């Protein structure tokens, strides 16, 4: 299925999304307890998320998914898309590997493809790209072999790959994401702040530990509406943030960056 949500502006960005699987209730969970998920509500939230990406200037293409891939909506974990190439990951959870084929097929229409292979594992949620620096969380999902393969894939394009410490959460981007090339939104308890000392860190509110995940869409930002105190901090710093309710999707341990692959067309 291809949604063509276009903003009034000329669309420079492509956002690839993926269906909420009918089996999302069987998703992987690491730090959360299983709660019932209302699939219709999750799908409505996802459609609204796509709509807002469209309004912010993305052309949105949604890939189909079925019951064999409970976590399909979290497409970010399956690839890292650069201007030059797309790296297809080998997700750390074996249950997520059936997601690879369709994402590879789509991205091979857009970029040369490099594939992470065994014994390497990477989840895209562990990969934070800021300019030519790529921070990669060492987690249950991402290992040193995967990080080494990513480094080899991008070295000739001038990117530097830096392993990063993550504790207490699933992915690096649960703990820290970029607002722009100078400022990162962070939950310092889940990272080693020294590793990011050339950036300014904007802290999430103490009561909003999951609030460090924000999507950069060109110069705009898309953020979950469940973190009002951190939102206030963002607005005080001059960031114009669009919010979406992804509360149902969050029960599957995902956040806003996880639900799209955003790249230049």
Number of other CB atoms surrounding residue 229 within 10 Å: 12
> In this structure, what DSSP letter does residue 23 have?
T
Maximal C-alpha separation, the chain: 46
Residues 86-115 that bind ligand CIR (CB under 6 A): 93, 96
Burial (CB < 10 A; 0-12, 13-18, 19+), residue 138, is: middle
Which range of residues in 74-82, 105-113, 128-136, 230-238 is near ligand CIR by CB under 6 A?
A: 74-82
Measured between alpha carbons, how far is residue 208 from residues 63, 66, 136 in Å? 31, 33, 23
- Verify binding: residue 227, ligand CIR, rule CB under 6 A: no
CB of 156 to ligand CIR, least distance (A): 27
CB of 10 to ligand CIR, least distance (A): 29
Q: Which residues are bridge partners to 201 per DSSP?
A: 184
* Parallel, antiparallel or unpaired: strands 86-88 and 113-115: parallel
- Verify binding: residue 125, ligand CIR, rule CB under 6 A: yes
Nearer to ligand CIR, 11 or 179 (CB): 179
125 three-state secondary structure: helix
Active site residues: 171, 258
The contact pattern for ligand CIR, residues 142-181, with x = CB under 6 A and - = no contact, is: ----------------------------xx--x-------
- Verify binding: residue 216, ligand CIR, rule CB under 6 A: no
| Footprint of ligand CIR (CB under 6 A) | 27-28, 30, 71, 74, 76-77, 93, 96, 125, 170-171, 174, 252-255, 258
């Amino acid at each position: 299925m291809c949604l063509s949500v276009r903003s009034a502006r000329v669309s420079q960005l492509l956002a690839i999304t993926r269906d909420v699987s009918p089996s999302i209730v069987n998703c992987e969970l690491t730090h959360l307890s299983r709660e019932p998920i209302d699939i219709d509500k999750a799908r409505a939230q996802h459609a609204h998320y796509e709509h807002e990406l469209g309004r912010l200037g993305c052309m949105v293409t949604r890939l189909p998914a079925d019951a064999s891939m409970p976590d399909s909506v979290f497409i970010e974990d399956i690839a890292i898309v650069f201007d030059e190439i797309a790296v297809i990951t080998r997700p750390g959870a074996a249950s997520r590997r059936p997601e690879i084929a369709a994402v590879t097929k789509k991205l091979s229409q857009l970029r040369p493809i490099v594939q992470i292979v065994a014994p390497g594992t990477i989840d895209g949620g562990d990969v934070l790209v800021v300019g030519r620096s790529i921070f990669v969380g060492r987690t249950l999902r991402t290992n040193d072999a995967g990080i080494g393969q990513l480094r080899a894939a991008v070295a000739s394009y001038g990117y530097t790959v830096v392993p990063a410490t993550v504790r207490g959460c699933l992915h690096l981007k649960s703990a820290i994401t970029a607002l722009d090339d100078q400022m990162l939104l962070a939950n310092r308890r889940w990272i080693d702040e020294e590793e990011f000392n050339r950036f300014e860190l904007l802290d999430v509110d103490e009561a909003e530990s999951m609030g460090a995940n924000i999507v950069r869409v060109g110069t705009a930002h898309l953020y979950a509406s469940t973190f009002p105190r951190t939102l206030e901090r963002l607005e005080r710093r001059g960031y114009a943030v669009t919010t979406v309710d992804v509360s149902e999707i969050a029960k599957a341990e995902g956040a806003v960056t996880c639900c799209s692959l955003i790249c230049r067309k």
